[in-house]
Chains A and B, each alone.
Chain A
Amino acid sequence: MAEITLKGLAHSYEKTPKGAADYAIRQMDHVWHQGGAYALLGPSGCGKSTLLNIISGLLEPSEGDVLFDGQRVNELPPEERNIAQVFQFPVIYDTMTVFDNLAFPLRNMNTPEYRVKPKVLEVADILELTSLLDRKAKNLTADEKQKVSMGRGLVRDDVTAILFDEPLTVIDPQLKWKLRRKLKEIHERFNITMIYVTHDQLEASTFADKIAVMYEGQVVQFGTPRELFERPAHTFVGYFIGSPGMNFMAVEYRDDQVMFGTQPLPVSEQMKHAVANASSANAIANDISYNNIKLGIRPEFIAIASNPTADSVPIQVTSVQDLGTYSLLTFKLNEQTFKARLPEGHPPVGEAAFAHFDAAHVALYIDEYLVEAGHE
C-alpha cells in the first residue's frame, strides 16, 4: 500500500540537456494517492513510458525524487519496490499450471504452502479462473492469460501498486469490456493504487477515476474523465479527448468585439471581458512576441439551424456524414474547418446555415492553457 509522490521530477536521456526539448519528462510534481485508480494517457512519444519506468524502478530519474509513502526510492531496484506490472503481452510460465503460476510469487518469497493455497483460491475466484487452475497456462486464451498475469500481482499482500501498460492490446475486441469490468471490480475490492498507461482515451476513461494527460513531457491536466471532456485545461486535451476533438478559433479583441478573423463572435459578457483583458495584457507585455488567444468549443456543443438567431453566426456546410447514432457535420467559418455533432433525427441542413455556440461550453485559452471557462 503506498502513496507515490513525484517531486521536482525531470528526466533527460541526454548527459547535458540544453533546453526543454532535450527532456523526455519536464520538471513536474505529482501525487498518486493510496488506493486510487489512475491512468496516464498520451500519444506515443509524450513521455508516459519514461514516467512508468521511473515509477517501477527500471529507470533512475536524472532530476528530482520518487517517494513511496514519503521514502525516497530513486535508487531502489524494481524488485525491492513491491510493484507489480502487467504488460501488453501476458508474462506467464507456459509450462506451469494456472495454480502454480498464481502461486509463484508467494512461493518465491518462501510463503508456507498452507497460506499459499487459500490466497491463490481467493484470487482465482475473483478472476473467474477457478475452473482453469489445473490447466497448463499455454493452453489458455489471450484474455485468460492476461488474467493470470494480473492474478500474480494480486496474490501478494506486500504489493504497493500495480502498473498496467496497455494490458488489453492482445484481447479480442468483443471480450475487452468484460476485462475492463474485471479490472474495476478488482480495484474496488483490493484498494491498491493502480496506474494504467495507455494512448487510448477509452481505456483510460473507463478504468480511471482520475487521468493524467501527458503531452511533450508534461502532465497538462490531471482530472476526472468528465473534467477532461467538459473543461479541458490545455488545448491538447481538447484535441486529444473526444472524437472528433475540440474546435479552436484564434481570436482578438477589436472594436469592442471578440473577432475571429472578420467574423465577430457572439459570446457571453464575461467571456468578452476575459478576451479583452487577455488582449490588453498581451499588449502591455510587449516582450512576448506572439498573441496566442483562442476560443475552444466541442462539436457536441454547437447547434446548427437553417435560420439565424440573435447569437448565431453564418456558416457554410461542406458535408454531413451519417454515423448511425449521430451525424457529423463539417462546416467552414472564416476559411477554417469545424465539426459539429448532430443528434439522430436532426432536421435536414442546407449548404448555408447558422451555428450557435453554447456559451456554457466556450472556453478561453491563452498560450494553450485554459484561462476562462463558460458557466452552466
Chain B
Amino acid sequence: MSLHLQNIDHIVNGVPHISGIDLALEPGSFNVLLGRTLAGKTTLMRLMAGLEPPTRGKIIIDGKDVTNVSVRKRNVSMVYQQFINYPSLTVYDNIASPLKLAKHPKSAIDKRVGEIAEMLHIEHLLNRYPQELSGGQQQRTAMGRALIKDADLILFDEPLVNLDYKLREELRDELRDLFQARNCIAVYATTEPNEALALGGNTAVLHEGKLLQYGPTEQVYREPNGRFSAEMFSEPPINIVPGRLTDTEITFDQSLHFPCDDKLKRLEPGDYDFGVRASHLTLQPQRADDLALDVHVDVAEISGSETFLHVHHERFPLVLHLSGIHQFSVNEPLKVYFPTHQLYAFDKQGHTVHIPARQGGAAHG
C-alpha cells in the first residue's frame, strides 16, 4: 500500500501540534521520524494509525480517502516505548493473539508464531509469562505481536528507548533485516540521529510540528536543506559559527580571517552561518588550509570507543567527535584544527546555500 498525508494540520486546545505536513510514503518503505521530544512524532503516528482524525487535511491510502476511517478498520500495528503485553498470557499467546482474534486455524497460527519467534530469538521463551522476561525479551514479544499480522502499516514509537544500549544495538540490527523482507510500510519514531542512520531507509526530520525534510536517510544527513535540519540530524550536533563572506575570505567573530574555499566564492558576499561537522574537526592539522584555533576544554564525553570533546573558543563553542579514547581536564588549553574546505553555509533565513564535497568514495558493498 501507499500512504499519503496531504496538508495535515492538527490543533489541540488551540495549540498547533502538526502544521502543514505533506508526506507520501512508498509501499514497502522503512521510514524514520526524527525529532526532539514534542516535535510531533507521536501525534503524527496517531494520525497515521487513525486513532484520531486530523483537524485539517486528508489521509489517503492506496488512493482512497481514509481520513475519517477509524483505527479498527485500518490494518495497522503499533509498538510503544513501554513494553505492552498481556500479563496473563504466555509469550506464545501474546504473539498469537491478533491471529486468534481473526480466527485463523490453529495449525496456521502455530506455524506463524514459530517463524516470528525464531526471527526475534525468543523461540525458547514461548511458554513463559511476560513478567518472567527481561525488558529486551518483553519488547521482542510486543514486536512479535505487531509483526505477526500482515499489517499494511507498522508504527514504532521509540520502541528501544527503555532498553540498555547493547540490546538497542542488537534489536536495531534485527529490525533492519526484518523489514527488508516485508512489503508493509514501517514508520519508526526516534529522538536519536544515530539511530536513524543505523536504521537506514528514509528519514523525515520533524521540528515543532513541521516537516523540515524527507528523503533517503543518508542523503538527508549529508545534504540537509537547512540549518535546523542539519542540527536535528547530527549527534553531537553540527557546529554552527556565524561569519561574514567577502570576495576572497571568511571572517569569524570579526577577528578570525581565512581565505575561503573556491566553491564558496560563487555565493553573494554577506553574513552566513557556517556549519562544520564535529567529526571533521581534528587535534592535528590535516591540510595546509586548516584553521588553527586556541580553545579551552569544557568536557570530554567518552562513549566506550569514541570521544565527544566539548571546547570553547573565545567567542563560540565547538564540539569535536574523535575516534578512540581521549581524556582532558576541564579548562585545559588546546589547539584544534578547523577544516575550511568542509564548511556548510546557511543563509540568514536558515536555508542551505552550500554543501561541501564528500571526502573519498562511498563505501558500499
Which residues from chain A sit less than 8 Å from chain B, CB to CB? 43-45, 172-174, 177, 180-181, 184-185, 188, 199-202, 205-206, 224-226, 228-230, 239-245, 298, 300, 317-329, 342-351, 353
Contact = CB atoms under 8 A, between A and B. Distances in A.
B305 interface: yes
B131 interface: no
Contact of A180 (B197, B200, B278, B299): B299
A229 B363 contact: no
Contacts of B135: 44
Given A323-B197, A345-B360, A184 B166 contact: no
Given A181-B298, A342-B363, A202 B197 contact: no
Scoring B191, B279, B299, B365 by chain A CB atoms within 10 A of each residue's CB, the highest score goes to: B365
Contact of B200 (A225, A321, A350): A321
A243 B169 contact: yes
B207 interface: no
A229 B325 contact: yes
A185 B332 CA distance: 12
Interface residues on B, range: 35 or more
Contact of A201 (B165, B197, B200, B364): B165
B321 interface: yes
B303 A243 contact: yes
Contacts of A346: 360-361, 363
Interface string B162-174: 0011100100000
B300 interface: yes
B160 to A, nearest CB: 13
Contacts, number: 135
Nearest to B358: A345
B290 interface: no
Given A229-B304, A348-B363, A348-B365, 10 more contacts: A43-B166, A172-B37, A177-B308, A185-B330, A201-B165, A206-B303, A300-B305, A324-B279, A329-B365, A353-B365
Contacts of A321: 197-198, 200
Contacts of A172: 37
Interface string B295-323: 00011111111001010000000000101
A349 B308 contact: no
Contact of A348 (B36, B134, B362): B362
A189 to B, nearest CB: 10
Contact of A229 (B134, B321, B324): B324
18 contacts: A43-B166, A177-B298, A181-B330, A200-B164, A202-B301, A202-B303, A202-B304, A225-B304, A242-B304, A300-B323, A323-B198, A324-B234, A325-B279, A342-B363, A344-B360, A347-B363, A348-B361, A349-B364
A322 B362 CA distance: 8
B218 interface: yes
Contacts of B279: 324-325, 344
B325 A325 contact: no
A300 B304 contact: no
B277 interface: yes
B329 interface: yes
B96 to A, nearest CB: 28
A349 to B, nearest CB: 5
